[in-house]
Amino acid sequence: MTEDDFLEALFKRMPRPPGELVIPPGDDCAGFREAGGSLLLIAADQVVEGRHFLDEGAFASSPQQVGRKLLARNLSDIAAMGGTPLYCLSSVALGSRHDAAWLDRFFDGMLDLARRWDTHLIGGDLARGAGKTVASLTIVGRAVESRVLRRSGAGDGDGFWATGLFGRSFPTGHHLEFEPRLAEARWLSEQGFASAMIDVSDGLLIDAGRLCRASGVSLFLDVGAVPRRGTGTSMEQALSDGEDYELLFSVPKEKERRLGREWPFRDLPLTRIGELRRAPAPGIFDAGGSPLAPAGPPGWDHFSR
């Protein structure tokens, strides 16, 4: 069973949510209406020692990097909605290899990034006694309801676009150093270019598939156009490795030319990697129409593997 399957079944068991829950579970963030009319976005994510970070060996990460990564993953979820981060809470269960000094440096890394994005740590819980260290974080942000970017807004004929590069995030250290695409996502939301958006945590094909399933569209992917991280990265790695934390988004045909012209983030590659078509049974195909993946799991999934 994949995490998506489990969560989908789980959320179906709940009673009908209140009307103010504008964005129910199943997007990068849930969103509920504030008393005053804007949307509060909220999401949670975690890192597990030995899975999302290693303590020793060639790919070892410092405690600062682990704390930074945990917050950055969550900021990426706020970005994927076109939101602005406000607050976070973090619970840490320390494993046998880590102590209060490790925890202190872990929060150094987290707070450095928090300051950069004006995000305030407002709560959490600390415990010892875990076998391996597990740290979770909940992020709270805000968005304008009429501009929030969901997975479900893509339309027939929309172009499919990506920021940045893909593949080999773990061996290159990108997963520890990436900058969440908050500024880019907010610009896309404010300028009204994107019709649907998601961030890539589990892999380009998996996350594109999630957007396709939510929007009821199929993706015809221009495989050769997918920008790879460095020359040593294979196409397979670019499509499936995950932890890229880039944005995938759909753009209505009539806005695509203007997007290419007006994109103000000159240092960050922006690439059109395919096209979307309304489909009763969404899937991902190459440009010739051969199936690449179903629209949804399986693939890299922290829960199923």
Minimum CB distance to its own copies smaller for 19 or for 289: 19
Give min distance, CB of 93 to its own copies, in A. 4
Task: Determine contact, residues 107/115, Cβ cutoff 8 Å.
Answer: no
* Euclidean distance between CA atoms 25 and 21, whole angstroms: 9
Minimum CB distance to its own copies smaller for 265 or for 303: 303
Task: Determine contact, residues 134/51, Cβ cutoff 8 Å.
Answer: no
Minimum CB distance to its own copies smaller for 110 or for 165: 110
Give min distance, CB of 195 to its own copies, in A. 23
Minimum CB distance to its own copies smaller for 67 or for 252: 67
Q: Kindly give, in sequence order, each residue whose CB lies less than 8 Å from that of residue 132, ignoring residues fewer than 6 positions away.
A: 48, 49, 50, 95
Pairing, β 84-93 against β 120-127: parallel
Q: Shortest CA distance to 220 belongs to which of 289, 118, 146?
A: 289
Structure tokens belonging to residue 139:
């992020």
Residue 304 CB burial class (10 angstroms; 0-12, 13-18, ≥19) = middle
Task: Determine contact, residues 75/179, Cβ cutoff 8 Å.
Answer: no
Give min distance, CB of 185 to its own copies, in A. 19
Structure tokens belonging to residue 39:
């949307």
Give min distance, CB of 44 to its own copies, in A. 4
Give min distance, CB of 122 to its own copies, in A. 4
Give min distance, CB of 36 to its own copies, in A. 2
Minimum CB distance to its own copies smaller for 127 or for 225: 127
Minimum CB distance to its own copies smaller for 129 or for 264: 129
Q: Contact residues for its own copies (CB under 8 A)? A: 1, 3, 6-7, 10-11, 13-15, 17-18, 21, 24-25, 29-30, 32, 34-38, 40, 42-46, 48-52, 86-87, 89-91, 93, 95, 100, 103-104, 107, 111, 114-115, 120-132, 134, 136, 138, 140, 302-303, 305
Rounded to an integer, what is the distance from CA 170 to the centroid of its chain?
16
* Euclidean distance between CA atoms 156 and 252, whole angstroms: 8
Tell me the β-bridge partners of 161.
249, 272
Give min distance, CB of 200 to its own copies, in A. 16
**298 cis-preceded (ω within 30 degrees of 0):** yes
Give min distance, CB of 252 to its own copies, in A. 29
Minimum CB distance to its own copies smaller for 10 or for 287: 10
Terminal alpha carbon distance of the chain: 10
Rounded to an integer, what is the distance from CA 223 to the centroid of its chain?
21
Minimum CB distance to its own copies smaller for 103 or for 276: 103
